[in-house]
Chain A
Amino acid sequence: MDMKTAKKKLGLKEKYRLLTRDLGWEPTYQNKDEIYPYTKYEGIKIHDWDKWEDPFRLTMDSYWKYQAEKERKFYAIIDAHAQNNGHLHITDARYLSALKIFLQAISPGEYAAGKGFARMGREFPGVGTQVACQMQAIDEIRHAQTQIHALSNYNKFYNGFHGFADARDRMWYCSLPRSFFDDAMSAGPFEFMIAIGFSFEYVLTNLLFVPFMSGAAYNGDMATVTFGFSAQSDEARHMTLGLECIKFMLEQDPANLPIVQNWIDKWFWRGFRLLGVVGTMMDYMLPKRVMSWREAFEIYGIENGGALFKDLARYGIRPPKGWDDAGKALDHMSHQFMLALYQYNFGTTFHSWIPSEDDMAWLSKKYPTTFDKYYRPRWEHLKKLKEAGTPFHNMGLAKLCQTCQIPTVFTEPDDPTRLTQREVDYQGEKYHFCSEGCQHIFENEPEKYVEAWLPMPQLFQEPINGDLAAWMEWVSLVPGKDNGDFDGSEDQKNFDAWRDLAKSNQ
């Protein structure tokens, strides 16, 4: 018979020590530099890894408990969404274009972040950092999974969702997020933390998960709201990890300051470019809108970001180099991006459209100094071309930026009538950029960016060799079904027909 012994319950502090810090030990027969080969080459000096503060003191066992609970809630709602034909409860099928872009561009980014953090969990020598990175790695994989599961309910009924994993690597508008993550994952561990922990989580996540998820709620998309809420509760932890890492680097050695500042400059600009997609989704693709991209950026970018840089000023950090140019771009970028998506819509796996009168009235109100002056005339002209039966398709294809890899659609910060065009000769080759910011990033590390895989020039090289039909097949795109104008599309017709069935007895 087993004897009953009084089990001493571990206190929180003790449990935390045993499940995290106690996992670290000093190697005796291996050189530490060989175990952690990537910690020194970026030039960051760390003298004492034990000084790392664990912002959340979260242990694996409590992590499993919280996350399992969230999963249960998440899948209950997703189940209900599927059983109650949630795909018919959205405001309008136009909204689905935003989801398709999200699934193609952002969800694979979550997965990439998962891979990146798994690597950081291995590469950082400090055990506090290792544990925090491992938990974030699991979070990111979970985000990718829940997003794919939630949106698979739409895939059963609508076009354009099916090839999202291919789209991420092959579609021109996805090369923006793909290159962002490829750049981060091929950087050293400290730069990765700035790229993802600071730029993606701090600058981007709030804008992605707060106003965009409110947009989903406004448009009746409970599946997206559900994964948004489930992910958002992790994001606060991720932001803190990124910030903690920045402070740790700055506190360890003054020589780290210029390196960190340079990364903040770089990754702020890369993050801002990535946000162009989100801005377009908010301003153009939500049939029912919560706030404009400008308003969202004022709250989550300027106010929150401004506070962050004030907080970091005591270490000598100044706001990123592209901060002012970003401010000047706010009134323009979503319009410029949507105009591009419209004219190249034959090469996308979602629908685009000319904004309705109602949409344009909203855009004029939200962008009083720019929309009517610069963008309405272009949309009105496109409308005329469409009505004349000659809708505009730009067969000139797009010039891409060598750094951020998207079409060079943006204008000079102080002159919205001129495209920003920058070029650099490097070792006998010409390279083009969409902005000063992207040009500086290239000039700091040209050897890295000359290798960029740019979708438009690649279309004319092996193995596609300019064959558009072969390209369509390669990107899993069914022309005329997955893409083109929303008016008259299968998505529009099916949604309207099914909605009618749902509210009638015929």
Chain B
Amino acid sequence: MAVTSTKPYVGVPRDVVANFHGKQIVYVNWEQHLLFATPFMLVVEPGMRFADLLANVVKPLMQADPDAGAVDLTQVEWRKGKSAWQPDFAATLAENGIVHKEQLHFTTPGLNTLLAAA
């Protein structure tokens, strides 16, 4: 059942990529680094190179975490959505198959300063 209604009903999504003036949403999450309350929501151009997204957008946002200095984002383990994934750093987001509202995750095993008390 798609929706409980008195007559046929078709929902219209509010966040389609066409509403973002040539940009798209990408979510990036640093696993086990919960100083950041949620994954970062980024609004960027699909033609941006993945390496530039990391260097110019993601890296500055990570700085508040004490582990930030120790991370080389080209050497971390990546996941795209639910699956393991190897990004092409020189290619664009679009060429990397990163669609609108894609969730990227990266893991940095061994780094967990703010959970050290655990």
Contact = CB atoms under 8 A, between A and B. Distances in A.
Interface stretch (A298-306, A307-315, A461-469): A461-469
Interface stretch (A65-73, A95-103, A318-326, A370-378): A370-378
B25 interface: yes
Contacts of B43: 460, 466
A394 B31 CA distance: 16
A398 interface: yes
Contacts of B112: 417
A14 interface: no
A2 B68 CA distance: 93
Contacts of B99: 430
A279 interface: no
Chain B binding site: helix, strand, loop or mixed by DSSP?
A: loop
B12 to A, nearest CB: 6
Contacts of A43: 4
Contacts of B32: 417-418
A340 interface: yes
B19 A377 contact: no
Interface string A34-47: 00011001110000
Nearest to B115: A417
Contacts of A244: none
B49 interface: no
B34 A41 contact: no
B14 A451 contact: yes
B61 interface: yes
B37 A38 contact: no
Contacts of B20: 460-461
Contacts, number: 152
A223 interface: no
B40 interface: yes
Given A398-B38, A409-B38, A457-B25, A450 B11 contact: yes
A417 B4 CA distance: 37
B2 A446 contact: yes
A343 interface: yes
Contacts of B16: 429
Contacts of B96: none
Interface in A367-406: 372-374, 376-378, 381-382, 385, 392, 394-400
A453 B14 contact: yes
A394 B36 contact: yes
Interface residues of A, number: 63
B35 A444 contact: no
Contacts of A376: 117
A336 B38 CA distance: 10
Nearest to A375: B34
A454 B81 contact: no
Nearest to B7: A41
A377 B118 CA distance: 10
A340 B37 contact: yes
Interface residues of B, number: 52
A432 B114 contact: no
A451 B10 CA distance: 10
B34 A419 contact: yes
A339 B27 contact: no
A373 B38 contact: no
Contacts of A340: 37-38
A187 interface: yes
Nearest to B57: A396
Interface string B17-51: 00111010101110110111111111100000000
A38 B7 CA distance: 11
Contact of A394 (B11, B13, B37, B102): B37
A458 B15 CA distance: 7
Contacts of B37: 336, 339-340, 343-344, 394, 398, 407, 409
Contacts of B34: 336, 339, 374, 378, 411, 417, 419
A473 interface: no
A468 to B, nearest CB: 12
B56 interface: no
Most buried by B among A191, A427, A429, A431: A429
Contact of A460 (B12, B23, B28): B23
A392 B64 contact: yes
Contacts of B116: 377
B70 interface: no
B29 A421 contact: yes
Nearest to A188: B4
A396 B14 contact: no
Contacts of A407: 37-38
Contacts of B13: 427, 429, 450-451
A408 interface: yes
B108 interface: no
A423 B39 contact: no
B5 interface: yes
15 contacts: A41-B5, A336-B34, A378-B34, A378-B114, A385-B64, A396-B39, A399-B38, A399-B41, A399-B103, A408-B38, A418-B32, A427-B13, A430-B102, A446-B11, A452-B14
Given A41-B5, A373-B118, A465-B21, 13 more contacts: A188-B4, A382-B35, A394-B64, A396-B41, A397-B41, A399-B39, A418-B31, A419-B38, A427-B13, A429-B100, A446-B11, A451-B14, A460-B23
Interface of B: 1-6, 9-16, 19-21, 23, 25, 27-29, 31-32, 34-43, 61, 64, 66, 81-82, 99-103, 105, 112-118
